[in-house]
Amino acid sequence: MAWFEAKNIRREYRLGNSVNVALDGFSLLADKGDFVSIVGRSGSGKTTFLRIVAGLITQTAGEIVYGEDPPPRIGVVFQEPRLMPWLTVEQNVLFAFLKGAKRDIPFARAASLLEMLGLSDYRRAYPNQLSGGMAQRVALGRALCYEPELILMDEPLGSLDYFTRRTLQEEILKLYLLEKKTIFLVTHDVDEAVALSRRVIIADSGRIIGEIPVGLAYPRHRADPEFASLVEHILSHIVG
């Protein structure tokens, strides 16, 4: 049995007398430690699928099954950092442990993540004192501090400039190789998908229309002819 299995997920939205189908038989298997990117045109169902896995919305039909009990902890990184402006960098990373009932707060874990992400000198800074790239690093640290087994990333680098995006791609890869987490990444950037993931899932009209394994060793180089060939192969499925 796979560690993660999405079985025939369907999601409908009712708009008056009409029904909009966002997902229609979306099925996906993943092993623990996998890195899966989901690419496709806008409206193909990528983000809807991630939101269902995160528990933010429910599916109309189908089910998600995990090969372990209890289900894994899940961390989510959105396109926007969504930091709490009244909290410091360190407090934002520890956010899941600061709310609700008093519990042990993993300060050592937070300190280690801040160092890994190059944010140790900014632990007492506030979000309005950070660049966009630094804020997104804080969001990554927040997701990881909770020690999730599954990390969902919804276009986490989409709003960043080219140079910051490339730097954070390297940070995500470093975190993946060190932490061995399972990652689902939704992205419009096919280069990014090939650079980071082990498999690329191609979505269209709420269905999976292709699955491309990426057998290149890490780190991957965009100048590599095989890298460029994979990108073109995936784009041919999307563009048609």
Nearest 5°: phi and psi at 169? Answer: -60, -40
Residue 227's identity, in one-letter code, is F
Q: What is the structure's pLDDT at 179? A: 86
- Distance, in Å, from the CA atom of 238 to the CA atom of 232, rounded to the nearest integer, reads 10
Whether residue 96 is predicted with pLDDT greater than 90 in this model: the reply is: no
Confirm if 72 and 147 have CB atoms less than 8 A apart: no
- Residue extents of the structural domains in the chain: 30-60+67-72+149-240, 84-147
For residue 100, pLDDT beyond 90: no
- Residues 199-235 have pLDDT tens digits of 999 999 999 999 999 999 999 999 999 999 999 999 9
Binning pLDDT at 50, 70 and 90, where does residue 116 land? confident
What pLDDT digit, counting tens, does each position of 133-153 carry? Answer: 999 999 999 998 888 999 999
Query: How many other C-beta atoms can be found within 10 angstroms of the C-beta atom of residue 217?
Result: 6
Q: Which CATH superfamily is domain 30-60+67-72+149-240 in?
A: P-loop containing nucleotide triphosphate hydrolases (3.40.50.300)
**What pLDDT score does 193 carry?**
97
Q: What is the pLDDT of residue 124?
A: 96
For 152-207, the pLDDT digits (tens) are 999 998 888 888 899 989 989 998 999 889 999 999 999 999 999 999 999 999 99
109: its two tokens = 């874990």
Parallel, antiparallel, or unpaired for β 182-186 and 150-154? parallel
15 pLDDT exceeds 90?
Answer: no
Q: Cα(5)–Cα(25) distance, rounded to whole angstroms? A: 13
Percent of the chain at pLDDT above 90?
75
Which of residues 197 and 107 earns the better pLDDT score? Answer: 197
The per-residue pLDDT for 69 is 83
Contact assessment for residue 165 and residue 157, using Cβ atoms and an 8 Å cutoff:
yes
